[in-house]
Structure 1
Amino acid sequence: MSESRLAAGTVSVARIEFEVEFPPGHVACYLLEGDAPVLVDAGMPTERGLGGHDAALREGLDQHGHALADIEHLVVTHPHVDHIGQAPAVLAAADPTVHAPAGVRDRFAGDAGALAERVRANATAAGISGDQLDEAVAMARESLERDRSLLPPAAVDHWVEPGETFTVGGHDLTATHTPGHQADHLVYATDIDGERALLAGDAAIRPFRPVVIHDGLDDGHRAAFEAFLTGLDRLDALDPTPDRVYPDHGPVHDDLPGVVERHRGSLRRRLDGVREQVANGLRTVPGIAMAIAGDDRSVRYLLPEAMSAVAHLEATGDLVATVEDGVRCYDLA
């Protein structure tokens, strides 16, 4: 099922939505009109979620007078499955120039087996065991293999560097690196119908903060919280401040400063909550993550967030770690 509507009452940018089973129930991509049609991100794979996503993309484009074959540029914010899922359909139907974050090139060149070994070592040291450990390792390997099959590096024509300005379809896009949710994540600022617009991917979402995944349970988890905060600082420093934000989840909005501040507050509350869980006697990552998840949420994506949080709090001197039977256990400093 798709929803395609004109965002902000303009014919220059159209939003195409795909239904998904996780909150907030949709993921979006954007069609930019101009000298040539530009697609920013590419939704979910057909076989994931509620299905029919190839039809959703085709129907959304059709509502604005285009077919898949018309797409001349595909711009990627980050390589999560719900944002590159229809890239193969676009590549098969058209011959677009593909623009993707430069960091993805090295990430996709990595060996899946070596990644699995690092994740197993990091997760084991964090106290993750049994089925949770096996799932975490399998998820890391499968995500890398799946995502680079959806966005083959050989299909990328332009590896976008942070801070770079480039032109697609008559639009000048300036890329800013906003890691934390995903380590290579870029947002793109441009002018649309007299407004400064931000094509934000999974950044600056209202009303919720994206989970701190960064690079999952790989070695980058130690810097994930600091990376997220750095990305928020970069959003705050955009000059001029965007008038309108086009995120891939949640509504289009005009409150970048407010959303950035709410995300900062959410990160502070998460760190405070982790500190409180440790004070209450939960000394390992699995216990902390399960306490955060409660009865209503899956612990899967809270494991990397909890693991990154304790690493951040250890680095700032708020927590001290001791290794007990091969597992890092945390106490208040």
Structure 2
Amino acid sequence: MAENASRNAWAEPGSYEVTEGVFRIPLPMPNDGLRAVNVYAIRDGDGFTLIDSGWGVAEARAQLDTVLTELGSDTAHIRRFLITHAHKDHYNLGTHVRAEHGTPIALGAEERPTIEALQRADKSPMITQQHLLRGTGATEITAKFIEMVGDTAVDPAEWPSPDRWLAAGERIPVGAYDLEVVHTPGHTSGHIVFRDAANGLLFAGDHVLPHITPSIALEPRTPRLPLGDFLESLRRIRELPDTWLLPAHGPVTSSVHERVDELLEHHRARLEVTYDTVRAGARTSAESAAKLTWTRRERALSDLDVFNAMLAVLETKSHLDLLVARGELTGEEHGGVRYYSCS
């Protein structure tokens, strides 16, 4: 089951048998930031059930067609899609296949408000991020971000509702496997993972990734403490017996626990250094973010592109807000901007 774990080898096109009847299929994305998204195909009767579907672009569809042909199947024999969360690289190619073949799609029930928001043609999918950015004091980044995304409304045709909403705790028999739905909010409010306890597999979506930490709450609605939700979800997964990690981005690895421990430690340390920025005089999320370094290369905020600078400032906000909730900082709003200070 173990794969070449070099940082980029996992994204090479093809199909990779994880265990008997379970294939990892990397599909390309229309940007090179994450390189690819893993779709998992599980043999299910005379076809396959797919966990996640890929981004609805021609390159991804062509690659999926090629791989399924090599496996002796085709998109007409996809029995269903089980989707971890409502982001384009996970959801949208499945809606294209459904339009052709009627293939049912299932999505976590807590993603319903997100889907309904995306179906409103008068709303930009980035309106929430624009509003949050204004409150961080990141004036220049906000202006550049608004210029980049504009007020373009989301196309509701790209976000049809699923055929079924999945509840936490549901069991889904898929071929030789028995998948349990586990609600893991954080990356999105309705993110779910699929766990096969008997075979020691966790189809983790973006909840646990081997090389990077997932963004928090990049969605049309934002919970009060998305980082708190994410850390609690990680702890919940950590309390379960260990399994193989089958992530959406990156290679398959042998231990969910090992990576969860790394993520928990990363955020513990990040909370500490974020607190230190306030103690050193930063008052807003933007000022704190500017005092931190970003990515494994430890880049400055000013060196990031507009989209990733937006993510960095909002991630800093999530850490600051959690510190406020823990009583370590105080936060007050003045003129639409949230200011932090040591308690």
Normalised TM-score (structure 2): 0.82
Q: Tell me if the contact between 1:115 and 1:141 (Cα under 8 Å) persists in the aligned partners.
A: no
1:103 and 1:137 map into 2 onto residues whose CA distance is: 31
Q: Tell me if the contact between 2:44 and 2:79 (Cα under 8 Å) persists in the aligned partners.
A: no
Indicate the larger mover: 31-40 or 293-302. 293-302
Equivalent residue runs for 1:179-258 within 5 Å: 179-190=185-196, 195-213=199-217, 215=219, 218-220=221-223, 222-238=224-240, 240-242=241-243, 244-258=244-258
**Aligned match for 1:79, one of 67, 86, 95:** 86
Q: Which ranges of structure 1 fall in alignment gaps of 5 or more residues?
A: none
What is the match of residue 129 of structure 1?
139
What is the match of residue 175 of structure 1?
181
- Structure 2 residue 157 is matched with structure 1 residue 149: yes
1:107 and 1:261 map into 2 onto residues whose CA distance is: 29
What is the match of residue 340 of structure 2?
330
- The structure-2 alpha-carbon separation of the partners of 1:78 and 1:275, relative to structure 1 and needing over 3 Å to count, comes to same
Deviation at 1:181, TM superposition (A): 1.3
Deviation at 1:138, TM superposition (A): 8.3
RMSD of Structure 2 on Structure 1 (CA) = 2.8
Indicate the larger mover: 253-262 or 108-117. 108-117
Deviation at 1:122, TM superposition (A): 4.0
Q: How many residue pairs get matched?
A: 318
- Structure 2 residue 56 is matched with structure 1 residue 45: yes
Q: Deviations over 1:216-250 (max 9, x none)?
A: 7x441x31111011110121123x432x2211111
1:265 and 1:106 map into 2 onto residues whose CA distance is: 31
What is the match of residue 281 of structure 2?
281
Identity among equivalent pairs (%)? 25
2:64 and 2:23 map into 1 onto residues whose CA distance is: 12
Indicate the larger mover: 291-300 or 301-310. 291-300
SS of the aligned residue for 1:226 comes to helix
- The structure-2 alpha-carbon separation of the partners of 1:140 and 1:177, relative to structure 1 and needing over 3 Å to count, comes to farther
Q: Deviations over 1:143-187 (max 9, x none)?
A: x935x633411xx22200111112344532101111111111100
**Aligned match for 1:12, one of 17, 21, 26:** 21
Deviation at 1:76, TM superposition (A): 0.1
Deviation at 1:120, TM superposition (A): 5.1
Q: Tell me if the contact between 1:37 and 1:70 (Cα under 8 Å) persists in the aligned partners.
A: yes
- Structure 2 residue 113 is matched with structure 1 residue 106: yes
SS of the aligned residue for 1:236 comes to helix
Deviation at 1:280, TM superposition (A): 2.4
2:115 and 2:339 map into 1 onto residues whose CA distance is: 33
2:96 and 2:126 map into 1 onto residues whose CA distance is: 29
What is the match of residue 330 of structure 2?
320
Q: Tell me if the contact between 1:34 and 1:171 (Cα under 8 Å) persists in the aligned partners.
A: no
Normalised TM-score (structure 1): 0.84
- Structure 2 residue 313 is matched with structure 1 residue 303: yes
SS of the aligned residue for 2:13 comes to strand
* Paired residue type of 1:88: T
Q: Deviations over 1:183-206 (max 9, x none)?
A: 111000126xx7221111112211
- Structure 2 residue 159 is matched with structure 1 residue 159: no
1:214 and 1:229 map into 2 onto residues whose CA distance is: 16
2:212 and 2:313 map into 1 onto residues whose CA distance is: 18
1:93 and 1:135 map into 2 onto residues whose CA distance is: 36
Q: Deviations over 1:291-324 (max 9, x none)?
A: 4341543312122211211111111111122334
Q: Which ranges of structure 2 fall in alignment gaps of 5 or more residues?
A: 1-10, 295-299
What is the match of residue 61 of structure 1?
68
- The structure-2 alpha-carbon separation of the partners of 1:179 and 1:139, relative to structure 1 and needing over 3 Å to count, comes to farther
SS of the aligned residue for 1:300 comes to helix
